[in-house]
Chains A and B, each alone.
Chain A
Amino acid sequence: MRYNKNALVLMTSAAALTLGSVGLAQADTLEDTLDRGEVRCGVSDGLPGFSAPDDDGNWQGIDVDVCRAVAAAVFGDSEAVTYTSLTAQERFTALQSGEVDVLSRNTTWTTTRDTTLGLNFTGVTFYDGQGFLVSKDIGISSAEELDGASVCVQSGTTTELNLADYFDANDMEFDPIVFDTSEQTVGGFEAGRCDVLTSDTSQLAALRIQLDDPDSAEVLPEVISKEPLGPVVRQGDDKWFNIVKWSLFAMLNAEEYGVDSENVDDMLDSENPSIARLLGEDGNYGEEMGLEADWAYNIIAQVGNYAESYDRNVGMDSPLEIERGVNRLWTDGGIHYAPPIR
């Protein structure tokens, strides 16, 4: 049962903080991970496109690909990951207390989370923004007509805060109906408990296809917030921070240089110095991170570059069919921009 589990995670996490040994924060996550033989990754409780188990029980999604990329970089095996499904409420405590080593769970990068929680965001996997899903029956075409609406929202998200901000700023009233998990939130919306369901627009796309009748609902055009979603690690372990950060950058750089899982073996002979550095043919960047020279090669060969991951999980090759939009590379007019490997 979710609620018992919820309490259990909080309790064990609190116990870890109270009884655990001092100095765990200085611990070498990379070394522990190598000893353990797998990367411990915190993912969502099932959000298609981002992190959700497929029909065979394998975790799939753009957030999951970050975990797989880290595992490929560290072990050369993208399958060496144990996934822990976390609700929005459990996620930070689980990371803080060391139950997971990477949190890749459609988590918005905000000041509070980056500072007071003792966490570090390693980058942005997906630039998102909050929107509204409404039933077509109520005949609304803009979020500004939502005065007095009942709004279903998931507990413990930035969404809850943006929602209040937006209605305040536009001088409108609303009734929040706060649920614990996204299934319950959708359940409330479908039953008609609320007029509107609010979440990140990417999630709305995912939630809409889960409705019994997806055509009965539509996403309103307004996007009311900035939601840069990215992987998170604990503060105080820069080595691990670097590995997670550069695993994502490797995927973005690979897309930029035109390296993908199909052609990566041919690219090993590439004349392009950037590609040679990326694939470990030139320089010792892997070693300086505490990894093998072929760390990025493994990521690209096993997980693919950013474009492949995007298309497969949330883009046009997936049921979600979310346009690349701002999630294009900077070279294509988007805002994804990875620092160079050199």
Chain B
Amino acid sequence: MSVRPQTRSPDSKPPFWRDRTKRALLAQCLLLAALAALVVFIIHNTQENLASRGITTGLGFLDDTAGFGIGQTLIDYSSNSTYGRTFIVGLLNTLLVSGLGVLAATIIGFTVGIARLSPNWLIARLANGYIEIFRNIPLLLQIFFWYFAVLQSLPSARESMSLGEVIFLNIRGLYLPQPQFLSGFGLIPVVMMAAFIASIALIVWNRRRHAATGKRLPTIWLSLGMIIGLPLLVLVVTGVPVTWEVPELGGFNFSGGVTIIPELLALWLALSIYTASFIAEIVRSGIQSISHGQTEAALALSLPGKLVLRLVIIPQALRVIIPPLTSQYLNLIKNSSLATAIGYPDLVSVFAGTTLNQTGQAIEVIAMTMAVYLTISLLVSMFMNWFNARVALVER
């Protein structure tokens, strides 16, 4: 009779290295520790290296006077401002061109995407041509095209093109009149706000009434009427307390009014047109992903054509459209850093460019810049995920 090896009673626990869960846990802990050690090593090593080379570190430079000018500033800025301020100026310029770009790219993209499916042969071909041309040329070249080929061939300041001697376009930019608000104008935003709140209340009430009685009001038109009409009425009643500051040619250039610099125009055009070509394809694929049966079913219920699109096709298409659309928005925001190629003062040009060079704080500046893009992208991503969850198909 052989001696059986010692066995454990069934309820005693196996040693932890035999337990798959615990083993996995251990491996994960080890990996995490190794990762943490690597990060600590990198930080420590960087500090040692910087110190041993006599390179100043830290974020103290943000309080120093910048001493250089920036071509487009959305907030007060002068060469006496700090490097911290240049960061904000650059960030706002990045957000401006990204925001404008997202807006324009969405509008162009949806229009072209729907046009691509048009039964009209010419419109569909044109939309197709647009998509194939603009999504297949590198973005940087498109930026150069708009900036160097198109906008730099505009006339000089003295030979500006003008629209009614109020709006001027030349190589230095687009000059628009700027409204100057006189006293008494303060009432307008208040009225507008009130109209806005009333509109929301109306929409909520209408929705409840619709659910309860099946009747509905044309709330969109009513709201628009309130939001636009009421302030206009007040404007007329108070005697139009607005004057327009028209740009005037003096010295080297136009002064007064609002200036849109050509760098912004070129970057905006290039980013919107390029991204729109991708969005158009996304919209087309979203719409085509809805089976034709849905349209037929909606038509069989004798829904009018407009409502078929709005109530049946688009809500379902959005589920397919939104995730890739988010990626396009993120791409557009990140691509805006190509601004530095044509001298648009965005974050990369102003902060990771000039500020980095004047202070020499490469690691801090680049880390801050990367953190900004990461943060913006994550925020956009979060918002789009929330929106996606809202339009997602609720399965019962």
Contacts and interface: CB of A to CB of B under 8 A. Distances in A.
Interface string A123-156: 0000000000000001000000011111000011
B340 A3 contact: yes
Interface residues of A, number: 58
B354 A93 contact: no
A174 interface: yes
A17 B50 contact: yes
Contact of A176 (B48, B69, B171, B362): B69
A155 B354 contact: yes
Interface stretch (B26-34, B127-135, B248-256): B248-256
A18 B42 contact: yes
Interface string B44-60: 01101110111110000
A26 interface: yes
Contacts of A96: 53, 55, 360, 362
Contacts of B358: 112, 156, 160-161
B148 A187 contact: yes
A155 B357 contact: yes
A161 B230 CA distance: 50
Given A96-B55, A155-B349, A180-B353, A163 B252 contact: no
A168 B359 CA distance: 21
B67 A22 contact: no
A192 B171 contact: yes
Interface string B122-140: 0000000000000000001
B156 A192 contact: yes
B48, B343, B354, B360 interface centre (most CB from chain A within 10 Å): B343
A326 interface: no
A117 B359 CA distance: 8
B45 A19 contact: yes
Nearest to B367: A14
A188 interface: yes
A23 B50 CA distance: 10
Interface string B38-81: 00001001101110111110000000000111110000001110
A93 B363 CA distance: 10
B251 A191 contact: no
Contacts, number: 159
Given A18-B42, A174-B69, A191 B171 contact: yes
A80 interface: no
Contacts of B42: 18-19
B116 to A, nearest CB: 32
A14 B54 contact: no
B345 A178 contact: yes
B360 A112 contact: yes
A1 B140 contact: yes
The 6 A-B pairs of least Cβ separation, nearest first, read A156-B357, A164-B79, A118-B54, A118-B55, A116-B56, A191-B152
Interface of B: 42, 45-46, 48-50, 52-56, 67-71, 78-80, 140, 148, 152-153, 156, 171-172, 250-253, 255, 262-263, 338, 340-341, 343, 345, 349, 353-354, 356-360, 362-363, 366
Interface of A: 1, 3, 10, 13-14, 17-20, 22-26, 88-89, 92-93, 96, 112-113, 115-118, 138, 146-150, 155-157, 160-161, 163-165, 167-168, 174-180, 184, 187-188, 191-193, 195, 234-236
Given A117-B55, A180-B340, 13 more contacts: A19-B45, A24-B49, A112-B360, A117-B56, A118-B55, A118-B56, A150-B253, A161-B67, A177-B343, A178-B354, A180-B353, A187-B148, A195-B252
19 contacts: A3-B341, A14-B363, A17-B46, A19-B45, A20-B49, A22-B45, A89-B356, A92-B362, A117-B55, A161-B68, A161-B358, A163-B69, A177-B343, A178-B353, A179-B343, A191-B152, A192-B156, A193-B262, A195-B252
